[in-house]
Amino acid sequence: MLTAAGRRPWTFYALAAFFALYVAFLYGPMICIFVLSFQGPQGALVFPMRGVSLHWFAELVTQTETGDILGAISRSIPLAIIVMAATVAVSVAGGLAFRDRFRGGAALFYGVIVSLVAPGYVLGIGIGLMFQLLGLPAHWYSSALGAQLTWTLPFGLLIMFAVFGRFNRSYEEAARDLGAGAGQILRLVVIPIVLPGIIAVALFGFTLSYDEFARTLQTSGSTNTLPLEIWSMTTNVTSPVIYALGTVTTAFSFIVIGVALSAIALIQRRRYGRALPAGRH
C-alpha cells in the first residue's frame, strides 16, 4: 500500500470514495442552507426555490421579524476579539511555563483538561450562580467572557504545548549570547518563531468564542450573543431569514479562517520555501 510509485491499490479508491462521501456529508447541508438563503420572497424553509433574491438578507438587517441581530453581532465580535487576545496571552505564557517542570504543574494540567471536558452548560450554571450569589451582574464582558475562556484556553494551551515541544531552545541561548535581554528574546526571537502557532491559537480563540453556546447561555446576562440569538430564532422564526443569518455568519467565519490559515501558510512558505509547513522550527 505504501509502494513508492506505480499503481495504487484498490483500497485507495475505496477509501477515497469514503472520504469524498464524508466531505459531502460535512458540507452538503451547509451548501443547502446557503442556497436556500437566496429564496425568493415567497419561498419556504425547504426546496424548491421560489425565485432568487436577497430578500431574506434585507429582512435580517431591517429586523422586522427577527430580534436584535445587529446588537448580538455588536456584542459577539468584540467579545470574540477579547477572548482571542486573552487566549493568546494566557496560552503563550502557559506554554512557556510548561516547558520546565514545576511543582503543581501536573495538577494545573489536569485542571485544564477538566475545563475542557466538563459539560459546558454545567460550568455556565456554576458561573451564573456564582455571580448571582455574590451579587455581581452578569454581562457578556464579564461572566460570559470568563465562561468562554474555560473553553478556548484548553485548546490554546494544547496547541502551544505542541508548538513549544518542537521549539529549539538554542535560539534563545543564541539570542542571549548575542546580548539580548529577556524581553528582547521574547519579542525578537521566540514570538516571531512561534508566530504560526500563535495565529492558530488566535483562530481557535476567536471562532470558538464567536460560536460558543452552552457556556454563554446562563452567563451573558440580559443580552444575547449571536449564537444565543440564532438559537432563539430556531424556535420562533419560520422563514428563510434564519438561513440568511446562517450564510452571513458562516461566510464571516470562513473569512476569519481563510485569513488565519493563509497567514500561517504564507509565513511557513516564506521561511521554509517550498518545504513542508510542518517543518521544524
* Residue 199 within binding range of other proteins, rule CB under 8 A: no
* Residue 242 within binding range of other proteins, rule CB under 8 A: yes
Q: How many residues line the site for other proteins (CB under 8 A)?
A: 122
* Residue 126 within binding range of other proteins, rule CB under 8 A: yes
* Residue 109 within binding range of other proteins, rule CB under 8 A: yes
Whole-angstrom CA distances from 75 to 179, 222, 243, 255, 258 are 45, 12, 21, 19, 22
Least CB distance to other proteins at residue 121 (A):
4
Pull the grid cell for residue 256. Answer: 476569519
Nearest to other proteins of 32, 54 (CB atom)? 32
d(CA 143, CA 219): 5
Binding residues among 74-103 for other proteins as defined by CB under 8 A: 89-90, 93-94, 96-100, 102
Determine the interface stretch with other proteins among 12-20, 51-59, 65-73, 77-85 (rule: CB under 8 A): 12-20
Least CB distance to other proteins at residue 41 (A):
17
* Residue 158 within binding range of other proteins, rule CB under 8 A: yes
* Residue 142 within binding range of other proteins, rule CB under 8 A: no
* Residue 67 within binding range of other proteins, rule CB under 8 A: no
Least CB distance to other proteins at residue 134 (A):
9
* Residue 186 within binding range of other proteins, rule CB under 8 A: no
* φ, ψ of residue 259 in degrees (nearest 5): -60, -45
d(CA 217, CA 224): 8
* Residue 217 within binding range of other proteins, rule CB under 8 A: yes
* φ, ψ of residue 39 in degrees (nearest 5): -50, 150
Residues whose CB is less than 8 angstroms from the CB of residue 162 and which lie 6 or more positions away in sequence, other chains included: 197
d(CA 150, CA 146): 7
Q: Which residue has the cell 486573552?
A: 86
* Residue 19 within binding range of other proteins, rule CB under 8 A: yes
| Residue among 24, 45, 61, 266 that touches other proteins (CB under 8 A) | 45
* Residue 141 within binding range of other proteins, rule CB under 8 A: no
d(CA 182, CA 172): 9
The dihedral region occupied by 6, where left means phi > 0, alpha psi between -120 and 50, and beta the remainder, is left
Helix (H, G, I), strand (E, B) or coil at 52: strand
Residues whose CB is less than 8 angstroms from the CB of residue 153 and which lie 6 or more positions away in sequence, other chains included: 87, 90, 91, 94, 112, 115
* Residue 216 within binding range of other proteins, rule CB under 8 A: no
| Residue among 71, 77, 139, 176 that touches other proteins (CB under 8 A) | 176
| Residue among 65, 180, 223, 263 that touches other proteins (CB under 8 A) | 180
Nearest to other proteins of 61, 178 (CB atom)? 178
Nearest to other proteins of 54, 85 (CB atom)? 85
* Residue 139 within binding range of other proteins, rule CB under 8 A: no
d(CA 129, CA 114): 19
Nearest to 216 by CA among 144, 152, 115: 144
Least CB distance to other proteins at residue 130 (A):
5
| Residue among 40, 41, 137, 181 that touches other proteins (CB under 8 A) | 181
